[in-house]
Amino acid sequence: MRSLELIDSWPVTTAAAAVVTADGRTFARGPGDRPFDLASVTKPLAAYAVLIAVEEGATELDEPAGPAGSTVRHLLAHASGLAFDEHREMAAPGTRRLYSNAGFEVLGEHVAKATGMPFAEYLRQAVLEPLGMTGTSLPGSPAKDGVSTLDDLTRFAAELLAPRLLDPGTLAEATSVAFPGLNGVLPGFGHQKPNDWGLGFSLRAHKSPHWTGASSSPGTFGHFGQSGTFLWVDPAVSAACVALTDRAFGSWAAEVWPVFTDAVLAELPSA
């Protein structure tokens, strides 16, 4: 895909990107096996492990977890009321969309207790190993400390397009709006009214500004990370895109990522 060549002009030392389609085609540019810090792109991986734990019966979406009145569902949807990086309650559960790393750390602790193993090990057994993601690890927080490669995240993107580890209905629920109507801040892009979110997945919906493209469908879901990384899936074109860099997110990314995404989408037929 010619659009992938755009990463060569990004103001970063190293970039890698790939597009994967539902019919199994993959297009890539840049190093496939170089490890990159994922930052918050860790969250979809962690959420996938939590959803598998739900399907296995180790926990339930509406099981209490976190602050009083909060559940696993609230934590996944950034609706528990926990602060960004502190285990401190800022709002009642279900009343505001407060993006929370702390909430994902509570999730990790909850699943670890429910499964009887450290969360990183559960993630490895439930998600990474079955998908052949041998270059991916979680040395710290399930909110932000994942490390992965382009090759591995492309495998995960393919799973999101055609789930094998989860029931498709579970993924459909996870990529639909949880607790509709909640307002909040989309990190790096300001207040969004509403700030729609799924269960571990950021939803494109009608947010503006946004890190995806102007032509991205409202059904697009995924995540971006402060380490200069993103993963999106756009059901309207039955395709997903991964981009990894070694430069922290900033105005440069807010400028080039939407242009890049629109160029990718322009090369893909509608589903």
To the question of pTM greater than 0.95 for the whole model, the response is: yes
Longest pairwise C-alpha distance within the chain = 51
pLDDT tens per residue, range 59-97: 999 999 999 999 999 999 999 999 999 989 999 999 999
Tell me what pLDDT residue 259 has.
98
Please give the residue range of the domain that contains residue 219: 2-266
- Residue 87 counted as domain residue: yes
* Mean pLDDT of each 10-residue bin along the chain, 271 residues long: 97 98 95 98 98 98 97 98 94 97 98 98 98 98 98 98 97 98 91 96 94 97 98 97 98 97 92 55
- Residue 155 counted as domain residue: yes
- Residue 146 counted as domain residue: yes
User: How many domains would you assign to the chain?
Assistant: 1
- Residue 10 counted as domain residue: yes
CB contact at 8 A, 243 and 232: no
- Residue 271 counted as domain residue: no
- Residue 119 counted as domain residue: yes
- Residue 154 counted as domain residue: yes
- Residue 141 counted as domain residue: yes
Tell me what pLDDT residue 269 has.
83
CB contact at 8 A, 146 and 138: yes
CATH code at 245?
Answer: 3.40.710.10
Give the amino acid at 11.
P
